[in-house]
Amino acid sequence: MSVNPLKSGRRIFLLTVSVLLVAPYRALCRFLIRRPLVYLTWRQDPTSTMVVNWMDNDSRSPDYVMYRRSALPRGSRWVLARGFNHAFADDKKRIVHHVELRNLKPDTEYIFTIGSQSPNRGKNYFKFRTLPQSMPSNFRFVTGGDMMHDRKKVDAMNQRAAQLNPWFALLGGDLAYADANKNNVSKWDDWLESWMLNSVRKSDGGLIPMIVAIGNHEVAGGTGKKPKDAKYFYSLFPLPAKRSFYVLDVGNFLSLILLDSDMTERIEGEQTVWLEKELSQRSSKKIPFVFACYHKPAYGTAKPPSGTKDSSKDPLAQKIIKNWCPLFDKYNVTAVFENDHHTYKRTYPLRNNRIDHKRGVVYMGDGCWGVDTRDVPKPGEVWYLAKAESKRHLISITISDGKPNYVAFEANGKVIDQHS
């Protein structure tokens, strides 16, 4: 069969032109954000404040949030709040904006717009609800970590979170898997966009606020590093006290302890001293529900040292067992959420590094929100594991009638485990 050299040459020419045009476009997409990426956090009291954050490519965009209570009549006065912005660490093309709203009313829905003093001009209105001051009859939040190996998986689990209508999400690190690498910075765009588009409460359309712990994939080099090695994480989140271990109190009924399991702060020393002080204070105040959350587990499932199935023998796990677990026992924390191993687990109630069904603390999680799973030990192979599954999940915690109930869900809504 003969080949027309003119047609063949034309095809080669068109193919070459398309490659030359598409390659720069793809490269440009690494630097351009498709839309402002809005997310909600807290630095102070979650019953009366909210930090509205967004990332875009516009350093000239005003750091303004216009907001008002949703229940007010149409045409009611809007309130203007001002904030500040900065480059996304060393990425000068991405700008992170932070505006803290204060003096809000507890358990109240607000609507807001960003980047303008004229809310009527805005095309996008967002919603949130402040947390209640006193325990409602039914209070729910979700938790999990190790979130995004690919967009499809994280989208699906974010949508499951939205179906559960939580007050907030407690996220245990390894969020975007960007590894503090400038070449991976667009992964943060995907992660934030997935959260903004999918993590919207089905009951009222409100954005779900996030409370975050730091994981090894937020850090250049993993564990044993310093805050400067997690520059994108610290740039994105305006944390209380500007450090990676902190506490948030919700009214008179709930405390959330976020810890840094040797990512940018050491387990022993200052952090452990701080942990005992905070737990002691909440014990004195008789706060009924105290949860701890961090990334690397004390009682894991899938990363044992060579020659054993027991992940608690890992040197870092041993540091947590030596320094933090005795404090969890001493002050009777409600439960501990761990991550990192890409599985689901629930331990037996543990106290003094032994099973104690009457007074022990349950450790749950192991981080598998939207990542590929790892194998787990067989039943009975590891002494502390009551349940272990190689499945992606989030955990829903519902506090009702003075008791917490834990349900682990897959993205399709299937229940993996229940515990109360």
Reply yes or no on whether the pLDDT at 168 is more than 70. yes
In a domain, 118, yes or no: yes
Reply yes or no on whether the pLDDT at 183 is more than 50. yes
Clarify whether residues 301 and 239 are in a common domain. yes
Phi, psi dihedral angles at 82 (to 5 degrees): -110, 150
Q: What is the spatial distance between Cα 294 and Cα 309, in angstroms, rounded to a whole number? A: 22
| Amino acid symbol at 341 | H
In a domain, 48, yes or no: yes
pLDDT at 71: 82
Clarify whether residues 347 and 211 are in a common domain. yes
Clarify whether residues 256 and 386 are in a common domain. yes
Segment holding 23, helix H or strand E: helix 5-29
pLDDT at 8: 53
In a domain, 293, yes or no: yes
pLDDT at 85: 94
Q: What is the CATH number of the domain that holds 363?
A: 3.60.21.10
In a domain, 17, yes or no: no
Clarify whether residues 370 and 221 are in a common domain. yes
Q: Where are the beta strands (DSSP E) in 136-205?
A: 138-144, 169-171
* Domain-terminating residue out of 108, 129, 150: 129
In a domain, 31, yes or no: no
Clarify whether residues 195 and 117 are in a common domain. no
Q: What is the CATH number of the domain that holds 122?
A: 2.60.40.380
Its sign, for the CA torsion 368, 374, 420, 45, is negative
- CB atoms closer than 10 angstroms to residue 274: 18
Clarify whether residues 194 and 82 are in a common domain. no
Clarify whether residues 209 and 229 are in a common domain. yes
Please, what is the end-to-end C-alpha distance for the chain in angstroms? 75
* pLDDT tens readout for residues 62-116: 899 999 999 877 767 899 999 999 999 999 999 999 999 999 999 999 999 998 8
Whole-model pTM above 0.75? yes
Task: Tell me how many domains the chain contains.
Answer: 2
What is the pLDDT confidence band of residue 1, given thresholds at 50, 70 and 90? very low
Reply yes or no on whether the pLDDT at 21 is more than 80. no
Clarify whether residues 306 and 325 are in a common domain. yes
Structure tokens at 296: 């690397």
pLDDT at 120: 65
Structure tokens at 28: 């440009």
In a domain, 4, yes or no: no
- Torsion-angle region of 288 (φ positive above 0: left; ψ -120 to 50: alpha; else: beta): alpha
* Domain-terminating residue out of 104, 129, 154: 129
* pLDDT tens readout for residues 189-224: 999 999 999 999 988 999 999 999 999 999 999 899
pLDDT at 14: 47
* pLDDT tens readout for residues 258-296: 999 999 999 999 999 999 999 999 999 999 999 999 999
Clarify whether residues 273 and 373 are in a common domain. yes
User: Own/partner pairs for 114-118, CB < 8 Å, 24+ apart?
Assistant: 114/36, 114/38, 114/52, 114/54, 114/64, 114/65, 115/36, 115/54, 115/58, 115/61, 115/62, 115/63, 115/64, 116/62, 116/64, 116/66, 117/62, 117/64, 117/66, 117/80, 118/66
pLDDT at 59: 80
* Domain-terminating residue out of 129, 147, 170: 129
Q: What is the spatial distance between Cα 237 and Cα 42, in angstroms, rounded to a whole number? A: 9
% of the chain surpassing 70 pLDDT:
91
Q: What is the spatial distance between Cα 203 and Cα 162, in angstroms, rounded to a whole number? A: 9
pLDDT at 123: 57
Clarify whether residues 408 and 301 are in a common domain. yes
Please answer whether residues 365 and 172 qualify as being in contact, where contact means their C-beta atoms are separated by less than 8 angstroms. Answer: yes
In a domain, 82, yes or no: yes
Mean pLDDT, rounded, of the chain: 91
pLDDT at 241: 85
pLDDT at 10: 57
Clarify whether residues 187 and 105 are in a common domain. no
Please answer whether residues 36 and 113 qualify as being in contact, where contact means their C-beta atoms are separated by less than 8 angstroms. Answer: no
Can you give the residue range of the structural domain that contains 279?
138-419
Choose between 121 and 199: higher pLDDT: 199
Residues 6+ apart with CB under 8 A from 245: 258, 259, 260, 265, 271, 274, 275
Clarify whether residues 175 and 315 are in a common domain. yes
Reply yes or no on whether the pLDDT at 27 is more than 50. no
Q: What is the spatial distance between Cα 415 and Cα 405, in angstroms, rounded to a whole number? A: 13
Q: What is the spatial distance between Cα 80 and Cα 101, in angstroms, rounded to a whole number? A: 9
Q: What is the spatial distance between Cα 313 and Cα 64, in angstroms, rounded to a whole number? A: 50
Residues 6+ apart with CB under 8 A from 355: 348, 349, 383, 384
In a domain, 9, yes or no: no
Please answer whether residues 180 and 220 qualify as being in contact, where contact means their C-beta atoms are separated by less than 8 angstroms. Answer: yes
Alpha carbon of 256 to those of 26, 283, 284, 288: distances in Å? 41, 13, 16, 12
